């Protein structure tokens, strides 16, 4: 990564370390209003060896099915410390480590499922993270995402862009990203797409493999 990107990654790490003690309290409102059911939707599709990028405070841990072998990484030691306490309290076996989604310390083609919930929005180089996910997934492995994204509705997107200027600077949180663009650029085959809440919330199931015009033309479910 370039020096600028390394600097931005360190800035984001400091932000999330600072936000860690109040993150669970702050996110509850948005999970109720925007992201309801998204975590359980994503984690229910996990199987085999599972990697969760930006595991945060471990809010997904309760939703994973039994039998998965779970590795969770996060750039913030403070966020991860909360996740480790949560895992022990729930009796959830999980390997939780400090790590960077832009440079995963995971062998090539060693993971069956990658889970990302509200993660790509706060990773400085989201394309690099998607490339790393592709590298570690086994052939035909699945990438399951629940993210907030740029709305296709013009008025909503204008409002998002105004807030984006503030969010990126204060929380390292990008409000107008388009994960589908990055997935297709990295050759993922899109299986399902759901857009909710004025198109702000996107649920995507993708598989490592070749993207085609046919697969890109899947119907989009909307709430």
Nearest to 92 by CA among 66, 115, 74: 66
Per-residue pLDDT, 1: 56
pLDDT at 128: 96
Could you give the count of Cα atoms lying within 13 Å of 209 in the half-sphere of its Cβ? 13
* Residue 190 backbone phi and psi in degrees, to 5: -80, 125
Q: How far apart are CA 209 and CA 87, in angstroms?
A: 33
Instruction: Kindly state the tokens that stand for 138.
Output: 């086994």
**What integer pLDDT is reported at residue 177 of this predicted model?**
93
Helices (H), the chain: 3-33, 38-43, 77-90, 126-136, 154-171, 179-185, 213-216
Q: What is the pLDDT of residue 221?
A: 44
Q: What is the largest CA-CA distance in the chain?
A: 46
CA 176 to CA 173: how far, in whole Å?
9
SS3 39: helix
Structural domains of the chain, with CATH: 3-222 (3.40.50.150)
Query: With DSSP H G I counted as helix, E B as strand and the rest as coil, what are the percentages for the chain, rounded to 5?
Result: 45, 25, 30
Residue-by-residue pLDDT tens, the chain, 223 positions: 566 667 899 999 999 999 999 999 999 999 998 999 999 999 999 999 999 999 999 999 999 999 999 999 999 999 999 999 999 998 999 999 999 999 999 999 999 999 999 999 999 999 999 999 999 999 999 999 999 999 999 999 999 999 999 999 888 899 999 999 999 999 999 999 999 999 999 999 999 986 543 434 444 444 4
The label of the residue with tokens 């052939």 reads: 139
């Amino acid at each position: 990564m370039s020096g600028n990107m390394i600097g931005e990654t360190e800035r984001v790490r400091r932000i999330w370390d600072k936000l860690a003690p109040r993150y669970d309290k702050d996110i509850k409102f948005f999970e109720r209003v925007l992201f309801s059911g998204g975590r359980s939707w994503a984690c229910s599709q996990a199987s085999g060896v599972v990697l969760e990028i930006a595991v945060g405070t471990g809010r997904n841990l309760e939703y994973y099915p039994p039998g998965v072998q779970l590795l969770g990484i996060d750039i913030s030691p403070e966020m991860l410390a909360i996740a480790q306490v949560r895992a022990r309290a729930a009796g959830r076996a999980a390997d939780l480590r400090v790590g960077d989604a832009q440079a995963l310390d995971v062998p090539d083609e060693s993971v069956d499922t990658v889970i990302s919930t509200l993660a790509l929005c706060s990773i400085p180089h989201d394309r690099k993270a998607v490339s790393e996910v592709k590298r570690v997934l086994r052939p035909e492995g699945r990438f399951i995402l629940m993210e907030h994204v740029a709305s296709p509705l013009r008025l909503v997107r204008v409002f998002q862009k105004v807030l984006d200027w503030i969010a990126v600077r204060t929380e390292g949180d990008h409000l107008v990203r388009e994960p589908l663009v990055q997935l297709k650029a990295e050759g993922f085959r899109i299986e399902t797409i759901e857009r909710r809440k004025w198109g702000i919330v996107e649920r995507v199931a993708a598989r490592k493999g070749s993207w085609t015009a046919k697969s890109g033309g899947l119907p989009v479910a909307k709430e």
